[in-house]
C-alpha cells in the first residue's frame, strides 16, 4: 500500500488566505484577477465562507474572515499561480492597480524571497514575479518553461 493510499490525501483543494474585509477581497480576486466566486455561504454561527479560483482550476482560495482568528502579519508567499505569459499578466495586474513586483524576474534580474522579503533570489527561472492582494498576502506568478525546451 502506498503512502497516498494509507493516509487518503490526494490533492491540494483549498489555500486559506486571511482577509480583513471579505467584500474588498472578493472584488479584488474577481475584478482584478478574473477569478470566479465558487462558494459563498454562512457557516459556524453566521460566519461567512467565500472561495474563489481561477477559471478551470482544481484548487480554490478561501478568503478567511476575521472570525476565524487574526492572522499574524507576514511577507511569506501564500502559493504560486501559473500563467502562460508572465509579462502580459504582470502588465494586466499593474493596469488593474494590483501591488506587483516592479519587474518580471528572469535570468539577469532578481526577486525577493518567497518566505522572506529580505532575501534576494538572483537569476530566477522561469519568468516569475510576486504580487499582493489588498491585505498584503503575497503570491507568485510563474510562466513554466515550454515543453519543447525553448
State pLDDT tens for residues 52-99.
Answer: 999 999 999 999 987 777 776 677 898 999 999 999 999 999 999 899
E strands, the chain, in order: 14-18, 36-43, 47-53, 60-64, 77-82, 99-100, 110-112, 120-122, 128-132, 138-142
Average pLDDT over residues 129-141: 93
Average pLDDT over residues 16-39: 95
- How high is the pLDDT of residue 78? 85
> Per the structure block, which three cell numbers stand in for 130?
510576486
Q: Has residue 17 got a pLDDT over 60?
A: yes
- How high is the pLDDT of residue 148? 46
User: Measuring CA to CA, which residue among 75, 26, 72 is closest to residue 49?
Assistant: 26
- How high is the pLDDT of residue 3? 54
Q: Decide if 79 contacts 138 (C-beta within 8 A).
A: no
- How high is the pLDDT of residue 150? 47
Q: Has residue 2 got a pLDDT over 60?
A: no
CA–CA separation, 84 and 65 (whole Å): 31
Please report which confidence band the pLDDT of residue 34 belongs to, taking 50, 70 and 90 as the band edges: very high
CA–CA separation, 129 and 100 (whole Å): 7
Q: Domains of the chain by range and CATH?
A: 1-68 (3.10.180.10), 72-150 (3.10.180)
0.95 cut: is pTM over it? no
Residue 63: burial class (beta carbons within 10 Å; 0-12, 13-18, 19+): buried
Average pLDDT over residues 109-131: 93
- How high is the pLDDT of residue 79? 92
- Would you call 3 helix, strand, or coil by DSSP? helix
Amino acid at each position: 500500500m502506498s503512502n497516498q493510499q494509507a493516509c487518503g490525501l490526494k490533492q491540494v483543494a483549498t489555500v486559506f488566505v486571511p482577509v480583513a474585509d471579505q467584500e474588498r477581497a472578493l472584488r479584488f480576486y474577481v475584478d482584478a484577477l478574473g477569478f470566479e466566486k465558487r462558494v459563498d455561504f454562512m457557516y459556524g454561527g453566521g460566519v461567512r465562507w467565500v472561495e474563489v479560483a481561477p477559471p478551470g482550476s482544481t484548487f480554490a482560495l478561501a478568503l478567511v474572515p476575521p472570525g476565524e482568528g487574526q492572522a499574524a502579519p507576514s511577507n511569506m508567499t501564500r502559493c504560486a499561480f501559473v500563467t502562460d505569459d508572465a509579462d502580459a499578466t504582470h502588465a494586466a495586474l499593474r493596469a488593474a492597480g494590483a501591488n506587483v513586483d516592479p519587474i518580471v524576474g528572469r535570468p539577469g534580474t532578481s526577486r525577493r524571497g518567497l518566505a522572506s522579503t529580505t532575501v534576494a533570489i538572483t537569476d530566477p527561472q522561469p519568468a516569475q514575479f510576486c504580487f499582493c492582494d489588498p491585505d498584503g498576502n503575497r503570491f507568485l506568478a510563474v510562466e513554466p518553461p515550454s515543453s519543447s525546451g525553448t
